[in-house]
Amino acid sequence: MTDRSLRPSDPSFIGGHRLLARLGEGGMGVVYLGRTESGALAAIKVIQAEHAHDDAFRARFRREANAARRVDSPWVVKVTGADPDAEQPWLATAFEPGPSLAEAVGRHGPLPLRTVRLLGKMLARALTAVHEAGLVHRDVKPGNILLAADGPRLIDFGIARSLDDTAITSADLVVGSPGFLSPEQATAGGERLGPASDVFSLGCVLAYAATGRPPFGSGAVDALLYRAVHDSPDLDGVEEETAAVLLRCLAKDPADRPSAAELDAALVEDMPPGTAEWLPADVVRAVAERSAAMLALPEIQATLAEAPPTPAPSRRRFLAVASGGAAVLAAGGGVAAWAARHTSGSGKKQAAAPGWALGVQADLSGAGREAGQAQEQGARLAVEEFNARRDKPFTLELKTADDAGRAERAAAAAKRLADDPDVLAVLGSSTDQTTQAALPVYDAALLPVISMSAGQNLYQSVRSFVRGRPLHGTVAMKLAFHLEATSAATPVGVLLDRTAGDVSWQTIQMVNFIVRKYGDATHPRVVPAGTTDFGPVLKDMRGAGIKAFVYAGPLEGAIRAARGLAGFEGPKYAAEPALDPRFAAEESAAGWTVVATAIGPDAARVRSFAQAFRTRYGHAPGFWAAEGYDAANLLIHRLTATRGKRPTRKALVAPLQAATYRGITRDFAFDPKMLQLSTPASFVHQVRDGAFRYLGPAPDRAPQPKGK
């Protein structure tokens, strides 16, 4: 595997970018991965010093960098900065993780016809923008096309190519990549390359995408160059109408080829506004995996050397990973805790037959104890109501295990319940981290588990698990639907706080995808894990003219964001972790909206439960209490179906996964493959007068486009 780590000789900062890794190296310089202070990732190409001594080179660098800045297309990677006058000139572009078209086709095979035609339209529009800026790409090939859920990105254009091609007019120089070269490139005859050369290369790319092979074959370089000049392209397997368009692109005479704009018009395919669900599912998964890997980047460390200059804010197109199917809604993290007042007694095993008990694993003593205690209390109320029935076929007990919300304690807490022969099923745990740590213990014991909190799409391999809440990506999708249905404000600032890991990333991806799909602009930003000062990034976002704001991150970050946006009059939204009384108590949180899977304790549909809860505990239920009540009643429903005959844990797994149950918060039915709710529900809450007010269910589907 290629070593991407920085070397001792590499700088720490370039032009306000903190360098994180090496992306590549060539004869002209090195390409680094960097991050601005506001969290935007960038690819920074630094030219070697020996090339910088040429005044003509610097002048050309400056001219083409200015031209590259003028390229305006969502399908072209943005130039975010350049310094032709630096000791080592550099150019920064927005970073896109990929994969490349070459990787996608190599791993997953040819693309579907619709995908190829959409790819062609978007890349034709990209080339139109490049050509209108006075640039010629000169190296359109599968490796220079990165795939994202909302479309391709053409990289390494204009200035990037000219940097490598300082003798572009040399009569003996062949510029570009054999197999995707135009005849005029292949002959190196000294004639100036024009836009038609890029169109020929794009025709080669589309043929490759449709068939999985270059249209002029493979092999020795000289053979490839000869075929490009003299042979007909191999388009076997390409649909007839599309093949006719590609043949025009692959004409030997540049004058016979369509322009990029004409190619766009010739490729007839519906292009939904904003983003399009255009990639096959296996490629979508590859995009998601590559994007998720960005969460493993090293954090910005303190630098002992001189502090870097203040970076200029740069706009970065944030990758929107979403597309149809379960891979798009992969999301994570939640909160649903259950209490642990473990009654261990003497620890001696009793000779009596096992009893009937439900277990609750949760954070009762850590930072999430309010939610954990609420779920435990809701579950306990359900058990007590069952035991009060005269016709009950057995008496049920509730046993708890406190993991304090800490992953390192979760397995031990799970083992206490798994080792108790009375426990037939468990509710838990409170977070994705504790759930993930606990599930191997429950799975080994084939102890059925239902979680009302864990929203990560990571647990399908656990035999005894069902998820009683939507995936976090689904909740984020409904947040975006609510935003689109109730607000016309655009652009929407979206801030990803990496402190919350995958949960935040997947939430922002879905929001970004939906908002842009409806034709609204977004202004995405990222802050590294552990960031405590949101001032610079919020200043950048407000300076960019955002009219609405979405934050995805932990509770503490939501509080910082609310304080930092005090006085901002546009609509403000936060992800589920902000559904906490501590957030609502912040004066600056007034008016903020949170979409979460927990229903409001003041909702009409849970009114009877709330009254019973108040009678039992002497106070109103908190968030997640009704969910704990529902989960316990679902398990009781399955246990009573045995008509008093005590089941084994293993015998209870399949009936639980096939269960249907009408709860007070939602209807329960589980997808047999994903083991998650078939009809997930989420709810809208808004901060008013220092507390959350329940507004109702979040939209289950996209609103009609607003025509903005």
List 434's β-bridge partners, or say none: none
Name the pairing type of β-strands 465-467 and 449-451.
Answer: parallel
Q: Using DSSP, state whether 23 is helix, strand or coil.
A: strand
Q: Tokens at residue 30, please? A: 């090195």
Q: At what angle do helices 502-517 and 281-293 cross, to 10 degrees?
A: 130
Cα distance between residue 404 and residue 337, in whole Å: 9
Cα distance between residue 158 and residue 212, in whole Å: 27
- Is 45 annotated in some ligand binding site? yes
Q: Using DSSP, state whether 493 is helix, strand or coil.
A: strand
Our measurement of the distance from residue 584's CA atom to the centroid of its chain's CA atoms, rounded to an integer in Å, reads: 27
Backbone angles phi, psi at 662, to 5 degrees: -95, 105
Our measurement of the distance from residue 192's CA atom to the centroid of its chain's CA atoms, rounded to an integer in Å, reads: 43
Is residue 540 annotated as a catalytic residue, yes or no?
Answer: no
Q: Tokens at residue 28, please? A: 């002209």
Q: Is the dihedral of CA 302, 303, 308, 314 positive or negative?
A: negative
Catalytic residue among 83, 85, 139, 264: 139
Yes or no: say if 485 and 673 are a contact pair by the CB < 8 Å rule: no
Cα distance between residue 693 and residue 687, in whole Å: 6
Yes or no: say if 333 and 431 are a contact pair by the CB < 8 Å rule: yes
The string of DSSP letters for 386-441 reads HHT-TT-SS-EEEEEEE-TT-HHHHHHHHHHHHT-TTEEEEE--SSHHHHHHHHHH
Cα distance between residue 629 and residue 157, in whole Å: 58
Cα distance between residue 58 and residue 54, in whole Å: 6
The catalytic residue positions are: 139
Binding residues for ATP: 45
Binding residues: 45
